Structures are given as structure tokens and as C-alpha cells.
Amino acid sequence: MSNTTPSTNGEALNQPRSHHDLFWTFSRLALQGFGGVVAIVQRELVDRKQWLTPQAFVDDWSVAQVMPGPNVVNLSMMLGGRFFGWTGALVALAGMLTFPTIVVLVLAALVANVAGHDLAIGAMRGFSAVSAGLIAGAAIRLLPALKGHILGWRICALLAITTFVCIAVLRLPLLWVLVVVGGSSFALAWWRLLRQATALNKPVPTEVDP
């Protein structure tokens, strides 16, 4: 049975039993992550393993996305480091890369001769549609986690729409969108957290002035 630890909101969360458990969890996750990886990551880490709450997953996934490199690899190293330090980060990275690398090399050798065939092209287009559906489904399932967000669901929705318009419609560079929109959301969240902390530390008056 996995170890447990309390989360920031008081819920008991599981922890990986060992480096071995960490390695095979991320290996299994990586081998399932065809296209819509966020849905697989959420199901494995939040629903199945319960290493993260939905809110913690949203927070960690956001950080992993703005860091250089594949977001799921970033997340795996973040969690590995959180549970077992630098050795956990390396084991999680090995789990993410070892078997997928072997599978990709084998598939590349097999598909090389049929890559231009109509059936192969049609199959790839079908996989693209499935991936889009997986991503959309995962996004919908994560929406309830925004109810308790420090910014509130309305501001979160506005930021999401703004990001979509900037990237998909206006075709603005991703770096500038991250700096402007991401920086603005970070500053606003920090300001609200600061106000919240100040309000909690505010002394309560013990008597009423005449």
C-alpha cells in the first residue's frame, strides 16, 4: 500500500512506495500517452495513484508547461524530485524515456516503408482527431478545480480565452504570450495571495471605541 501524506487542504494523498514504483508508474504513463497525454497524466496521477489533488495537478501542470522541454517530462521530474530528491527526478525521467524511445525506434523502422501510403496517412489523421478529443475531455474534467482558484473562475476563463485568441487567432509568438498573459496572471495571483495573508494576520479588535 502506498504511503500517505496530508495535502495543503487536509486531504490524505498517496506517495510512491519506492523508486521502482515511481519508474514503472511513469513508464506506464509514457506508453499510454499517444497525443492527448494530459488526459492520461490526470487519470494516472490524480485518479489512479492519487499522488496529486485536481487543484495541485492544475498548478503543477501549469508550471511544467511554461518550463522549457516536454511538459509531461517536466512534470515527472518535478514529482520525482518532490518525493525522492534528485534520484527521484532521474528515475522519473528514465521511466518517461526508456520504453517510449524503444517503441519509437521500432515503429520508425516499420513505418518508414509505408509512410506515404494512403492508409497510413488516413490512420495518422484519425489519431489526430482522437488526440484532440482526449485533450478536450481532460480540459473539461479539470474545470471544477478552478472553483477554488485564488483568481476565481471568471478571471481564469478570461485568461484562457485571451491566451487562445493570442495563439490560435492572432498567431502571436508563444514567448510573448507567456510573458504578458502569464506574467499578468502571476502578478494578480500574487497580489491576491498577499491580500489574503494580510487579512488573516490582521489583529482582531478586542474592544469597541466609545
**Domains in the chain: boundaries:** 3-146, 149-201
Provide the whole-model pTM.
Answer: 0.64
Separation between Cα atoms, residue 46 and residue 41, nearest integer Å = 8
Question: What is the gyration radius of the CA atoms in the chain, in angstroms?
Answer: 21
| Ramachandran assignment for 152, one of left (phi > 0), alpha (psi -120 to 50 degrees), beta (any other) | left
Q: What percent of the chain has pLDDT over 70?
A: 81
> Residues 58-69: pLDDT tens digits?
889 888 888 888
> Residues 158-182: pLDDT tens digits?
988 998 899 889 999 988 988 898 8
Residues 6+ apart with CB under 8 A from 155: 185, 188
* Sequence-separated contacts (24+) of 196-200 with Cβ below 8 Å: 196/150
Residues 6+ apart with CB under 8 A from 38: 61, 72, 134, 135, 138, 139
Q: HSE (CB half, 13 Å, CA atoms) of 96?
A: 20
> Residues 71-117: pLDDT tens digits?
899 999 999 999 999 999 999 999 999 998 998 888 788 777 776 67
